[in-house]
A = this chain, B = another copy of it.
Amino acid sequence: MAQLSYRDAVAAGIAQEMRRDQRVVLFGEDIAAAEGVFKTTVGLLEEFGPRRVRDTPISELAILGAAMGAAMTGLKPVAEIMFSDFLACCWDYVANQIAKTRYMSDGQVSIPLVIRTANGAGVRFGAQHSQSVENWAMAVPGLKVVAPSNAADAKGLLAAAIRDPDPVLFFEHKGLLAGKAEVPDGEHVEPLGQAKVLRRGNDVTLIALAAMVPCALKAADALVREGIAATVVDVRCLVPLDARTLLAEAARTGRVFTVEENPRLCGWGAEIASIIHEECFSALKQPVVRITTPHVPLPAADRLEDSVLPSPERVASEVRRALGK
């Protein structure tokens, strides 16, 4: 096993699939010669050449439109939208075209593509470059939604997303890019739709995604020193959702906390909390607690940004409060 950073793991996942399948092409703004503004595509132009790795104009509509057209006609495009906030600039393609065309065509058309995008806060980029918008995608039928929390998943889930016959939105968290982890050598593919239990404890269940996974793990560390044992589940994929694992882990402790980075309303936490309430109501000792960013745009200044994002301290204190400690 090699130690890889999350950003290198992204490049490694793409490279693995490009080697395997000539139909995979990569494009976006500054991803070729400049190797990505987040350095997530280093080495790819060099290895695969300008036919398969292409810089585009600043034309988010054209990027996703072209990705869709290429996917419909035999390619497997991996398109980058530089910041997930810019998905708003091409949301028509995401929500109305890419998500719906298979269905509207009665299955005639396949759209096997991946939209990669840098998501999330913590890097002081302000309200238009820091959002977590995976819930936007989850709300639209026809999209698969993946958000890895570590380098190994970044590679393995991205490989699976590229192989997947359906459109996948792949959220790479800006705050995690530098983090290193063991990534299996050789071909590495992690199936979509499987949550992962990262640690088990019998008192509470913390359900987290992307950058909130290390946050929840840190909270769990703090809590265990106080005698509170937390299970931590990494959701990994919002669609397909591994509801079975979430429900099982919810029922085991009866005290569930979702930890989301997105603003308060209509986040994935509301969906998962609703599912848990609906399907294991009687096993719950308390209502599911949603820990989220408050419903505000993200401020730029470091202190302000830190104050609104869920932190290990806030997670731990919500748990303590629920347990009356």
Task: Give the B-binding residues of A (Cβ under 8 A).
Answer: 85-86, 88-89, 91-92, 94-96, 99-100, 103-104, 126-128, 135-136, 138-142, 239, 262-271, 273-274, 277-278, 281, 286-290, 295-297, 299-300
Contacts and interface: CB of A to CB of B under 8 A. Distances in A.
B265 A290 contact: no
Contacts of A297: 99-100, 103-104, 141-142
A127 B142 CA distance: 12
Nearest to A286: B281
A320 to B, nearest CB: 17
A295 B127 CA distance: 30
Given A88-B92, A88-B96, A91-B92, 10 more contacts: A104-B300, A135-B139, A138-B265, A139-B262, A139-B266, A141-B297, A266-B266, A266-B268, A270-B274, A274-B290
B104 A126 contact: yes
22 contacts: A85-B96, A88-B91, A88-B92, A88-B94, A88-B95, A88-B96, A89-B91, A91-B92, A135-B139, A138-B266, A139-B139, A141-B297, A142-B296, A239-B265, A266-B268, A270-B273, A270-B274, A273-B277, A274-B274, A274-B288, A277-B287, A278-B288
A86 B95 CA distance: 10
Taking the full assembly, how many copies of this chain does it contain?
A: 2
A297 B141 CA distance: 6
A321 to B, nearest CB: 13
Contacts of A273: 270, 273-274, 277
A258 B297 CA distance: 28
A156 to B, nearest CB: 24
B141 A139 contact: no
A296 B141 contact: yes
A135 B266 contact: yes
The 4 closest A-B pairs by CB, nearest first: A91-B91, A270-B270, A139-B266, A88-B92
